[in-house]
Amino acid sequence: MGSAEHTRSRYTASDPHLDPLRRSSDRTPPSPRLARVKSPTDRASSRDPEPPLFTRYGFTRTGLPDAPLRIEPYPAIATHGALRATVVASAIDLVGGLFTRAIAGVDATFTSDLSLRIPSPGRPPRLLAHGEILRAGRRLVTTGVRIEREDAGSGLYAWGETTFSRVPRVLRPGEAMPDVETLSTPATIERHPLAQPLDAAVGVEVVEATPGLVRLALRPALRNPEGVMQGALYALLAECAGLARAGADLGVPHVVTALDLRYLAAATVGPVEARADWIGTNASRMLHVEIRDRGRDDRLTTTAWLQLVPAIVGSAPADPADREGDAAWT
């Protein structure tokens, strides 16, 4: 998705021999220290840095080498009683990125496509994400991620696969080759909940529900350190467009059970718009979504395919701790 590194995420893995999120029963070599690159916001205010966007998704991780990514769903990142597919997609991308960085070294990497399947959408109390390399080549790395319910014996919640492109890094005159450690994901991830629904906090606007048209103004807080729209927001726009269209045309709330994303170019100017259209009749509950950067000559940035199912509303219990979120950022 673009020629520059991290058009999707600045946070990837470091140790070229590390499988960072395998189950604890797997053999995992010792991990070196993982470091985080400070963003411009961090440098401006080391006392109160803006948390990375993925920490809003209920993610936590300890600093142990074989620690999985834990997901604690809460109402702000759910819709119609189910964890948003956007959050699942972000977890799949983050975990896949850890494995990709582990073998890509200092190569520039970016996500080219992502697919996920959620057999029975809902809001389990806790989920664990474990990843693996499916194929690694000189130019492409494909990863698989299992997202399981943490309760013993409760089984698989979602499966996802991601393909990352790797490109040899080209340095500008006078630029030094970065150390792999400076491209790493943080060893410890802390949870920073939101106090309002994710789409509202981000600023997604439903322009017209019947054609499934949604819009997002690309303000600074939604850009990654390279200045382009953060990766999970493409999934959020696709999800919001599809659910808006289904709600308007079918009259009942739906949730996403399958999502495929193809990243074609980065959104850099905005506003960014997504439009959802039915594949065949609406009885199929399958939609195709195009995401375009209106301020960049209406450039097509991403295409998506969604499969929906009617929502089972009211099945998820409330959690008093969910009220401890932050306000929307601006």
CB atoms within 10 A of CB 328: 15
DSSP secondary structure letter of residue 323: G
Query: Higher-confidence residue: 137 or 322?
Result: 137
Could you tell me the pLDDT band of residue 179, with boundaries at 50, 70 and 90?
Answer: low
In the chain the domains, ranked by start, together with CATH numbers, are: 40-169+187-313 (2.40.160.210)
DSSP 194-237: BSS-HHHHHT-EEEETTTTEEEE---GGGB-TTSSB-THHHHHH
Could you tell me the pLDDT band of residue 328, with boundaries at 50, 70 and 90?
Answer: very low
What's residue 185's pLDDT?
A: 62
* 294-321 tens-digit pLDDT: 999 999 999 999 999 999 865 444 443 4
What's residue 46's pLDDT?
A: 42
What's residue 48's pLDDT?
A: 57
Q: Is the dihedral of CA 61, 235, 233, 107 positive or negative?
A: positive
Find where tokens 């999934």 sit: 235
> Is 187's pLDDT higher than 90?
no
Which is nearest to 274 in space by CA: 326, 204, 323? 204
What is the arithmetic mean of pLDDT over 268-289?
96
Find where tokens 């604890």 sit: 24
What's residue 31's pLDDT?
A: 32
Helices 85-104 and 232-250: crossing angle in degrees, nearest 10, is 160
How many contiguous H segments (helices) and E segments (strands) does the chain have? 4, 14
